[in-house]
Amino acid sequence: MPTGVAIRDVREQLFDAADRILLRDGPGGLTSRAVTTEAGVAKGVLHKHFADFDDFLAAFVLDRAERMAPQALALREAAGHGTVAGNVTEALVAVFGSVAVAIVALVTFRDELRARLRDTWPAGVPVLTEAARMLGAYLAAERGLGRVTGGADPDSLGAMLIGTAHLLFADRTGPPPTREAVERAVANVLRPVVRQ
């Protein structure tokens, strides 16, 4: 005899709940009970799909990093259009307007999560590392089009831009930086390598 109603896309339901909790309450508020309550499912549902809570968190973090693929494709397709600084600014606002900053805090907050992520992600915080790769690929495409100087190192610039943006967005207690503030920071980082 069935004991309940089948839940469609339970992983996504749990991951979306984790997003909301992280954005609202930060990493300290993210517990298995909080996730299942937010998702509107029994606590056992999480443990049916994941070995333990850190297994859930590792899958959640990796899923959010993988979700950047469409944004990375759109950014690469923007090469040659608009301004380089404007395209990078839009990408950074999108990345840091998401749950990315809260994921950085979560990975920093939980030692076991960092250890589990190292099994599949050897360095860095997955969301930020993937965002840096996305920017590096875009800047390499712009370099190929001649809008970025040939001597520029796109991967290093991508990492610098992620670090710069992270500092701008890191304070979760205040308002996020304005688009103008982000664009000003991006323009300063890119000024030596972008051809006008």
Residue 176 has what pLDDT?
Answer: 84
Q: Is residue 22 part of a domain?
A: no
Q: Is residue 56 part of a domain?
A: yes
Q: Provide the 8-state DSSP code for 153.
A: -
Q: Is residue 86 part of a domain?
A: yes
Beta-bridge mates of residue 194: 148
Q: Is residue 111 part of a domain?
A: yes
Tokens of 99: 């749950």
Domain region containing 108 = 52-190
CATH at residue 141: 1.10.357
Q: How does residue 172 score in pLDDT terms, banded at 50, 70 and 90?
A: low
Examine the pLDDT at 1 and tell me if it is beyond 70.
no
More confident residue, 121 or 40: 40
Task: Tell me if 112 sits within 8 A of 31, measured CB to CB.
Answer: no
Mean pLDDT, residues 110-136 = 82
Q: Is residue 27 part of a domain?
A: no
Mean pLDDT, residues 100-129 = 79
Q: What CA–CA distance (Å, rounded) separates 67 from 83?
A: 25
Number of domains composing the chain: 1
Residue 96 has what pLDDT?
Answer: 86
Q: What is the pLDDT of residues 74-104, one digit of tens each?
A: 999 999 999 999 999 999 998 887 777 788 8
Q: How does residue 23 score in pLDDT terms, banded at 50, 70 and 90?
A: confident
Q: Three-state SS across 22-66? A: HHHHCHHHCCHHHHHHHHCCCHHHHHHHCCCHHHHHHHHHHHHHH
Residue 64 has what pLDDT?
Answer: 85
Question: For the chain, how are helix, strand and coil distributed in percent, rounded to 5?
Answer: 70, 0, 30
Q: State whether residue 164 is helix, strand or coil.
A: helix
What's the pTM value of the predicted model, to 2 decimals?
0.82
CB-CB neighbours of 54 under 10 Å: 18
Examine the pLDDT at 122 and tell me if it is beyond 80.
no
Q: Is residue 5 part of a domain?
A: no
